Amino acid sequence: MELLTKSKKKEWNRIIYLKVLENQDAMNCIKDQHTCKLILILEGHNVIQYNHKTLPIIAPAVICLNHKDAITFEEDQPCKLTVLFFQPTALNDQLKYNVFEPQFYESMEGTTIFQDITLLSSFYEIHQSKREITILDTASAVTLNQLLEKINNELTEQVDDYWPCRSRSYFIELLFFLESICQNNSMQNLSIVIDKNDNQLVHNIIHYFSKNIDKKITLSELEKRFACNRNQINQEFQKELGTTVMKYLIQMRMQLASILIRDTEIPIYEVALRVGYSDIGYFARTFKLYHGTTPSEYQSCV
């Protein structure tokens, strides 16, 4: 089976290196040595051989593998799973496998391609990033599964000629969310970094933001959800991050928006909706405040 997706219409002539498979179809391809794999285990338990280690695993959990990793599941313990097979070029055409060698990516720090490289730090060891099997809470498993379903729908339905960009954009959202649950440092691609063990309240709020970045979020909602008044929330964010909670949310949204604009061709109004803005004018003004240029200008320069 080809672990990529081709356009159904010959005139489009597009190939994107993303493929979503489930259960036995996924297991049949799990040893492929030419793709990275995000394995979302939804139900059941198993014992796996993972890079020469024997490990028990129980659902829900996620495993991130690069093209060199090896994994084997015990055949007599089937579990329900969904696997995203991909090559890094699905994120950025310049991300060939050699760019993940330290001598290459270290020379790229401060560039936009390095930002894309770090989005894959759950799959590759970028600056000592930790890659591990992650046991998920139910809400995180649901969010990952929904993003995988969105990717798969775009790949299979191909309703318009934006399907490659739209599937790539959901892939970026998935990587962005994955960073918040798989790394010791939450949102390490942002200029603000926090260790989740330093302040559980701040970590929990950031994790909530990452799951709901396309939704309207207010201080009043945060107060109710986290049983904490806004002054205390802001004090904790100021102490840990040097900014207020809502400014941090805006920064997260602007970070994701810049990646979607840079690495896809989906319309700017759709980018705005995907990062929680229904008013495209307000989105454009906020984007310019943070990036020094309008979304359209930013898109034309990358």
State the CATH number of the domain containing residue 22.
2.60.120.280
Whole-prediction pTM value? 0.82
- The CATH number linked to 262 is 1.10.10.60
Considering the domain architecture, whether residues 32 and 168 belong to the same structural domain is answered as yes
> Above 50 in pLDDT, residue 190?
no
What are residue 62's phi and psi, to 5 degrees?
A: -130, 140
Among 164, 183, 202, residue at a domain's last position = 183
112: containing domain: 5-183
pLDDT digits (tens, 9 = 90+) for 85-106: 999 999 999 999 988 888 888 7
Among 135, 154, 183, residue at a domain's last position = 183
pLDDT digits (tens, 9 = 90+) for 217-253: 999 999 999 999 999 999 999 998 899 999 999 999 9
pLDDT digits (tens, 9 = 90+) for 251-278: 999 989 998 998 888 899 999 999 999 9
pLDDT digits (tens, 9 = 90+) for 124-160: 887 666 666 888 888 889 999 999 999 999 999 999 8
Considering the domain architecture, whether residues 213 and 162 belong to the same structural domain is answered as no
CA distance 175 to 91: 10
Q: Which of 109-118, 139-148, 194-203, 214-223 has the lowest mean pLDDT?
A: 194-203
Considering the domain architecture, whether residues 262 and 168 belong to the same structural domain is answered as no
Q: Which of these, 63, 81, 88, lies nearest to 21 by C-alpha position? A: 81
In a domain, 59, yes or no: yes
B/e letters for 202-238, b = 16+ CB within 10 Å, e = fewer, are bbebbbbbbbebeeebeeeebeeeeeeeeeebbebbe
Residues 114 and 108: beta-carbon distance below 8 Å:
yes
> Above 60 in pLDDT, residue 193?
no
> Above 70 in pLDDT, residue 76?
no
C-alpha count within 13 angstroms, C-beta hemisphere, residue 288: 10
**Beta strand 45-50 pairing with 53-58:** antiparallel
Structurally, the chain folds into a number of domains equal to 2
CA distance 225 to 241: 21
Q: Which of these, 205, 172, 178, 160, lies nearest to 274 by C-alpha position? A: 172
What is residue 62's three-state secondary structure?
strand
**Beta strand 18-22 pairing with 80-86:** antiparallel
User: Residue 153 CB: number of other CB atoms within 10 A?
Assistant: 16
State the average pLDDT over residues 174-182. Answer: 84
CA distance 266 to 21: 25
Among 137, 161, 183, residue at a domain's last position = 183
